[in-house]
Amino acid sequence: MKMNMYRGRNSAYDVLNKLKDLDRLVDFARARIQLCIMLFFFKHDKGSLEEIAEAINERKKAVRDALIKLERKGLIVRNESENAYKPTSLGKRFIVVLNDVLKSAENPSLNSSGIRLNDMDFRSVASQLIAMRYIYDVIVYIGSSYGGSATMTTISSLLRLSPEVAESYMDRFPELFVKQRRRRRTSPFSGRKKLKTIEVRLSKKGMSVYYTLPEYLRLKKSLLYKVLRFLTRTGHLRVAYKRLLMMENALAITMIIALFLLFKTPVILLLLPVFLPFLIMMRSA
């Protein structure tokens, strides 16, 4: 897999796009131990299973499984004679880009909490990188959505995190977001009291970052992408595809009901095998 090597001054645009490249190789959200291992090689040329497990403070079995997966991805290789692991050429390029991201993250204008490279805590650095990757998704979702805002409940669903954890990640980048507390009813016919919700918008700096991302440029130039955004009310591809799938299934169910009522026969039993795969995909989306 090719990794884009960005040049020029460090900016929020560069950091977020480099993170996206890194995330393609190591899924930050689902492979935290793999990310910690690559951070280990950021400071060490090689290391044994025991050394890596002790350095990142993880169980040997979990580290062994992560090392096997990194080997399959071509990021590291095991030296049998030395009983040690070291990064491959692809792994070294990964570390080069990771180094650029970490240096940029020390810039207060990009990251208010900062990352100290000299005294690296692998878990805390991994947590910070994961937060930055989540922020990319939030910026794209809010920036491309109709109305230009989203509630914390929607954002937590997007990131597949609890609202509290999602908000804690966003609080690390206060210069990118503007929060407003609002009250609203769950339904106009509901007798419940109005619920407090947190509505999030992008700040001027957040919008300036969004305008430089590939997703915005694609939305600006591609007619197909504009149509997709119009139909699904968002330019975030994963959310847009999920909503399209839900619309497709809703249409399929409507057609089944219409045929059933029209012919008064169990047509639904004949068509169910056709639409069942779509129903399963919708549940797993």
Q: What pLDDT score was predicted for residue 6?
A: 35
Rg of the chain, C-alpha, whole Å: 23
Long-range interactions of 100-104: CB distance < 8 A, separation 24+: 100/6, 100/10, 100/14, 100/18, 101/15, 101/18, 101/19, 101/22, 101/129, 101/132, 102/42, 103/10, 104/10, 104/11, 104/14, 104/15
- Dist. CA 77–CA 163, nearest whole Å: 39
What separation in angstroms does the CA of 130 have from each of 44, 108, 210, 281? 22, 18, 19, 27
* Mean local confidence (pLDDT), 142-159: 90
Phi-psi region of 46 (alpha: psi -120 to 50; beta: other; left: phi over 0): beta
Q: Does 12-111 carry CATH code 1.10.10.10?
A: yes
pLDDT digits (tens, 9 = 90+) for 56-111: 989 999 999 999 999 999 999 998 888 899 999 999 998 888 887 777 655 444 44
- Dist. CA 39–CA 120, nearest whole Å: 9
- Dist. CA 141–CA 208, nearest whole Å: 14
pTM over 0.75: no
pLDDT band at 4 (very low <50, low <70, confident <90, very high): very low
DSSP 174: G
Q: What pLDDT score was predicted for residue 97?
A: 86
More confident site: 23 or 91: 91
pLDDT digits (tens, 9 = 90+) for 174-215: 889 999 887 665 555 555 555 567 899 999 989 988 988 888
- Dist. CA 4–CA 20, nearest whole Å: 10
DSSP 110: T
* Mean local confidence (pLDDT), 144-151: 90
Structure tokens at 174: 């206060």
Q: In the predicted model, what is the mean pLDDT of the chain?
A: 78
- Checking if the pLDDT of 249 tops 60, the result is yes
The DSSP bridge pattern shows strands 195-202 and 149-151 to be antiparallel
* Mean local confidence (pLDDT), 99-125: 60
More confident site: 236 or 188: 236
DSSP 114: -
38-42, 49-53, 214-218 — which one is most confidently predicted on average?
49-53
More confident site: 239 or 252: 239
Q: What pLDDT score was predicted for residue 108?
A: 43
Q: What pLDDT score was predicted for residue 161?
A: 87
- State the residue for tokens 């005294």: 119
pLDDT band at 269 (very low <50, low <70, confident <90, very high): low
Structure tokens at 246: 């839900």
